[in-house]
Amino acid sequence: MENNNTRRNFLKQTAILSTGTIIGSSLFNSVLAAENNLKTENQVLEPENFDFQENYSLPKLPYSYDALEPHIDKATMEIHHSKHHQAYVTNLNKAIETLDKNLVEHSKSLENIFEKMSKFPEAIRNNGGGHYNHSLFWSLMKPNGGGTPKGKLGDAIMSTFGSFDEFKKQFSDASMKRFGSGWAWLVVQDGKLVIGSTANQDNPLMRLRGKGLKGKPVLALDVWEHAYYLKNQNRRADYIASFWNVVNWEAAEALFNS
């Protein structure tokens, strides 16, 4: 969805870039850097900028709706992206219109907003988180993904959890034990890998009252029912097992190294 009045496009679909400078969030630029060596059919989401904007737009997926089948079905991907994610974008834009002028002037980026989350209304928390989380989630999956992580992330997982199988078990457990709707995360917290979860559309970048999970995201899994119910009904465990077949470990590695 394009908006000619948008100050900057938030995300756009591009082929893999072999040259050129990408302007934007260091978090997502790191993902792109890792993807530069992949084949052109493995497109990625390119953020022009994660600066705060008056209007956000829905990013195009870096793959077709049926590209993750049979693990994640076409119908779920299409509704998840074009309906659920679109709703967060639409409602985020509406919420921005109601912000106090001083808050707008000091909102340099979504990450900046997350750091000062308690100063913003609930609508920004829910919809800003939903937009950010989903944009990250799409880039952490790819056709013919899965396998085991390599490089520094693979080494860190082995060092922290003892084995890849133990890491998968703990991440899957966090995904299963998240009551109701939310997300499971692998984050870097104080220099160490930590697994946890957040409720609703919260994420580990948000500074919220109470302890909660804090850190730099490396891997994310949406465990809202809309992410799996059409194919798996109430069987969240089946959806989690399918996720391991589409993980984009190159993107996760880039986030870890950023």
Q: pLDDT tens, 72-131?
A: 999 999 999 999 999 999 999 999 999 888 777 777 788 889 998 988 999 999 999 999
pTM summary value: 0.82
Overall domain count for the chain = 1
First to last CA, the chain: 29
3-state class percentages of the chain: helix first, strand second, coil last, to nearest 5: 45, 15, 40
In a domain, 188, yes or no: yes
Mean pLDDT of the chain: 82
- Joined together, the tokens standing for residue 20 give 């050129």
Residue 250 CA to residue 252 CA, distance in Å, equals: 5
Domain limits for position 156: 151-248
Burial 64-83 (b: 16+ CB within 10 A, else e): ebebbeebbbeebbebbbee
Is residue 127 one of the residues assigned to a domain?
no
**141 lies in some domain:** no
More confident residue, 48 or 58: 58
- DSSP, collapsed to helix, strand or coil, labels residue 185 as strand
Q: How many CA atoms lie within 13 A of 15 on its CB side?
A: 5
Helix (H) or strand (E) holding 232: helix 229-232
| CATH code at position 187 | 3.55.40.20
SS3 144: coil
For 235-244, write each residue's pLDDT tens digit.
999 999 999 9
Instruction: Indicate whether 33 belongs to any domain.
Output: no
26, containing H or E segment: helix 26-35
> Residue 225, Cα to own-chain centre: how many angstroms?
17
CA-wise closest residue to 88 among 200, 217, 6: 200
pLDDT at 66: 97
